[in-house]
Structure 1
Amino acid sequence: MADSSSSRANLEAILRWCLRKQDEEESTGTTPMDRERQEWLKGALEAMCSAPSETDLMKAALAVLQSHHIPPPGSDIGEDTKNAMLKAFDEVLYFIEDLDHAKDLMKLGGVAVMMSYFNHPNRDLCAKACEVMGTSAQNEEYCQQACQPAIPQLVQLCMSCDDELVKVKSLYAISCIVREFPPGLEVFMENKGMELLLHCLVCEYEKVIIKALFLLRSISNKTVSSYITDDIIRQVVHITMTPPYDDINIRRHSTFCLLSLVRAVPYKFSSHRARLLETLQDRQQSLTDSNHEDELEACWKIVDLFSK
């Protein structure tokens, strides 16, 4: 998918070259291409030139999403309409896997369209809009900047919505916009970012907890140290010592997150140090013969930092 636009351009160039070569052969007396093959090439080139580009197809999908007005809360949009809109979202998601198309989406006003679905009563459509926002912003500073105005609304959506999928996708979108993008991170911090992370860390959904731990780990550094609260520290310590649902992934992510926090704000762990050391030393023994070498290494690093 990443090279589809260039592949299309290359194919069109090859077809043009073949036809141009045919004209040269006829003018020089060289045995020309047979008529049937020549007509096939001309037909292929005409089809290539007349077929809609991927940007055109994405515009069409965006137009579908723009054409449907947001219904009042509690109303039913109908199954056919919902399926058409989900298909349009999937079309957009397919195209923006290509970074060039992700930028095109921003230029076409895609951010405003996606934001209009944040309050949609159908939670599946709301989650899709968040997914589009996150996928387009991932690893692309231009798109992160374009999506930055959506951060306050994404925070509010994740805080207020009880739907698990919406929480996961909105947190995913926030993570993609703010990671390794300081302006976006600043907006997140100024719009109750840490309050949101604490809200997610104490929620009932495993996937949301893991997303929150991952994001907290990614942004925990000296720059945001003043925003890291004692409540955040206590909750990460609690999750590390007693992972909810006995979930290995939560345990692993909490260990990595804890390492980032200890590095960023070591002075906030004085009252937790003794209990954490005991837990981590026990975990080191249990991990010694496991395949989780990265987690074992993180445990060693935390213990080493506590020893200094």
Structure 2
Amino acid sequence: MPGVLKKPQQSLMLTSEVENAPSNQPRQQPTSLEGLLRFAVEATRREDGAGPSNFAPMEEEKRKFLEDALKSMTIDVIEILVNQIKTFDNVGNVSEVDDVTEYIQAFETICDYVDNIDIANDFYKIGGFSIIRPCLESKHSELKLRAADLLAELCQNNIFCQNVAINHGFLQILVPMLKETDFNVVAKVIYAISCIIRENPPGLHLFDGLQGFENIKEPLLNMDERTRKKSAFLLVALCNMDGNIKEKIISLDYINEIVTILMNEYQTSFEDCGMLLQTLIEDNESGISVCRGHEEFEEFLKNHIEFTENKDEYIEANAIYKNLLRQIFPEGN
């Protein structure tokens, strides 16, 4: 794979460009090979216009300076990734109390590059996925969450890496991790699962077969705001992806649980839970009937609509409460 340009440490500008540029106009320097090529083409086009050309054979000293500058701007991404992968050779021996600073730095370096789909695919081809399983199965929580985060970055909107993750059995590891007691780990696990199965029907089918919908109910019901929000958001996305998922979730008594959550003290995750409830009961009389079984729910919605009315910080919550009231209790509302 070709190298990529680093941010230049020293400003590079062709001599004729400096001479012809307005003194008060800042020059935007190229930060990629494509940008550098465009820079050179535009300079050539200007020189090819009317008037004598200012170009002359480049002096050896200037030529060497330009070559060295270009070399310093170019890095070999694959070489960097290979070196980071080697850091994990003995990661299976890490205990829950060991210092993992070296591994954290390696994860951060890798994540700096693999958000690019081509580089993510190359990361698999050079054996990078081999570091994920031992870290997910590690006794150290930081390694677990970093591995889940890396897996999410690799698979997000990347069907190739999604299928690699599925074929490597990572969902079989991730789904049981939804019951971890460290909410930081669980939040990253939900993120990884989401990036693997969203818009991927085989992944969604496998998640269902692994009792994923039963297991993700736990982080939805706990008191941690991050895991509750992420769980609700993922479930809404999956319902929109496959209509059968809605019936599956309703059959697991999610609606009763969500109504109970909403009727507790207000939290920022209520918008996500309310959105999930809206999705589940839309065009679904059985779901609406379950909500009506909570005798105090109508009064609760009315009270919270009044409380959140015309308050900027509750705009979304207010809209959700109003929609729920109209959907569940349409008479007089």
> Same fold by TM (over 0.5)?
yes
SS at match of 1:31: coil
Kept after mapping to 2: 8 A contact 1:168/1:207: yes
| Among candidates 210, 213, 216, match of residue 194 of structure 1 | 213
Question: Are the counterparts in 2 of residues 198 and 231 from structure 1 also a CA contact under 8 Å?
Answer: no
Change (3 A) 1:84 1:264: farther
Asked whether 1:41 is paired with 2:59, we answer: no
Give the secondary-structure state (helix, strand or coil) at the position aligned to 1:242.
Answer: coil
Provide the residue aligned with 2:108 in structure 1. 90
Q: Would you say 1:59 and 2:82 are equivalent positions?
A: yes
Which residue is equivalent to 2:23? none
Letter in structure 2 aligned against 1:9: L
Asked if residue 217 in structure 1 is aligned to residue 271 in structure 2, the reply is no
Distance 1:199 1:75, change over 3 A: closer
Runs (4+) of structure 1 exceeding 6 A deviation are 14-17
Partner residue, 1:108:
126
Task: Work out the CA distance in 2 between the residues paired with 1:106 and 1:265.
Answer: 43
1:68 equivalent among 86, 90, 106: 90
Q: Distance in 2 between matches of 1:266 and 1:112?
A: 48
Match for 1:59: what amino acid? V
Which whole-Å deviations, capped at 9, do the CAs of 1:132-188 have from their partners, x for residues lacking one? 0112222233322222231121011222x2222111111111122222322222111
SS at match of 2:65: helix
CA distance in 1, matches of 2:163, 2:281: 30
CA contact (8 A) 2:198 2:238 kept: yes
1:18-37 to 2 correspondences below 5 Å: 31-37=56-62
Matched letter for residue 280 of structure 1: L
> Normalising by the residue count of structure 2, what TM-score does the alignment of the two structures yield?
0.75
Shift of residue 264 of structure 1? 6.7
Tell me the amino acid that sits aligned with residue 102 of structure 1: A
Report how far residue 239 of structure 1 moved: 0.8
Aligned twin of 2:48: none
Displacement of 1:46 in angstroms is 4.6
Q: How far did 1:192 drift?
A: 0.9
> C-alpha distance in 1, partners of 2:252/2:287?
7
Matched, 1:152 2:172: yes
Taking only aligned residues, the RMSD between alpha carbons, in angstroms, comes to 3.1
CA deviations 1:5-29 (Å, max 9, x no partner) are: 6954336757998xx9xxxxxxx99
Does 2:225 align with 1:203? Answer: no
Aligned to 1:23: none
Between Structure 1 and Structure 2, whose CA radius of gyration is higher?
2
Question: Aligned-pair distance for 1:127?
Answer: 0.8
Report the AA paired with residue 278 of structure 1: E
Q: Measured at CA, do residues 8 and 14 of structure 1 come closer, stay the same or move farther in structure 2, by a change above 3 Å?
A: same
Whole-Å Cα distance in 1 between the matches of residues 63 and 90 of structure 2?
Answer: 46
Tell me how far apart the structure 1 counterparts of residues 199 and 212 of structure 2 sit (CA, whole Å).
15
Listed as ranges, the gaps of 5+ residues in structure 2 are 6-29, 45-52
* Superposition pairs of residues 121-136 of structure 1, within 5 angstroms: 121-136=139-154
- Report the CA distance shift for 1:276/1:102 in structure 2 as closer, same or farther (over 3 A): farther
CA contact (8 A) 2:183 2:227 kept: yes
* Number of corresponding residues: 287
Say if 1:39 and 1:14 are closer, same or farther in 2 by CA, change over 3 A.
farther
Query: CA separation in 1, counterparts of 2:85 and 2:235?
Result: 33
Distance (whole Å) between structure 1 residues aligned to residue 201 and residue 286 of structure 2: 24
Determine if contact 1:213/1:257 at 8 Å carries over to the other structure.
yes
1:9 to 8, 12, 33: 33
The match for 2:282 among 250, 254, 263 is 263
SS across alignment from 1:272? helix
Do the aligned partners of 2:225 and 2:269 also contact (CA within 8 Å) in 1? yes
Change (3 A) 1:296 1:140: farther
Equivalent position amino acid for 2:205 in 1? E
Structure 1 CA distance for aligned equivalents of residues 222 and 263 of structure 2? 17
Identity %: 21
For 2:218, what is the secondary structure of its paired residue? helix
Q: Matches of residues 203-282 of structure 1 in structure 2 within 5 Å?
A: 203-221=222-240, 222-228=243-249, 229-243=251-265, 246-247=266-267, 249-263=268-282, 265-273=284-292, 274-282=295-303
